[in-house]
């Protein structure tokens, strides 16, 4: 189970997001990952519905949305993005 994409992504990004990590899924099998799991507010709307749900449940002003099937998104990339955000707001 340790090599599944979602497990790799959570392990990679959880240090950055901590308690602000949200997984949008109706599958309770993801609960062991330690993130808040929520189900789609509007079911059957695909990735956009999942993004909408994640943003509605988010408690932060700024958010990063990462698909678990994007393994080339690294912790370093997200840290770089965080370091540059103040240049654009």
The length of the chain, given as a count of residues = 89
Phi-psi region of 43 (alpha: psi -120 to 50; beta: other; left: phi over 0): beta
Interatomic CA distance for residues 89 and 19, integer angstroms: 24
Condensed to tens digits (0 to 9), the pLDDT of residues 34-84 reads 889 999 999 999 999 999 999 999 998 888 898 878 878 888 988 888 888
Q: In the numeric block, which tokens belong to residue 6?
A: 């979602």
Whether the Cβ atoms of residue 53 and residue 38 lie closer than 8 Å to each other = yes
Q: In the numeric block, which tokens belong to residue 53?
A: 């749900």
Segment 16-36 shows an average pLDDT of 88
């Amino acid at each position: 189970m340790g090599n599944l994409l979602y497990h790799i992504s959570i392990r990679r990004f959880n240090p950055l997001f901590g308690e602000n990590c949200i997984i949008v899924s109706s599958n309770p099998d993801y609960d062991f990952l330690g993130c808040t799991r929520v189900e789609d507010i509007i079911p059957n709307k695909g990735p956009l519905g999942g993004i909408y749900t994640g943003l509605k449940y988010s408690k932060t002003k700024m958010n990063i949305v990462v698909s678990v099937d994007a393994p080339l998104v690294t912790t370093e990339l997200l840290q770089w993005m965080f370091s540059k955000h103040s240049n654009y707001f």
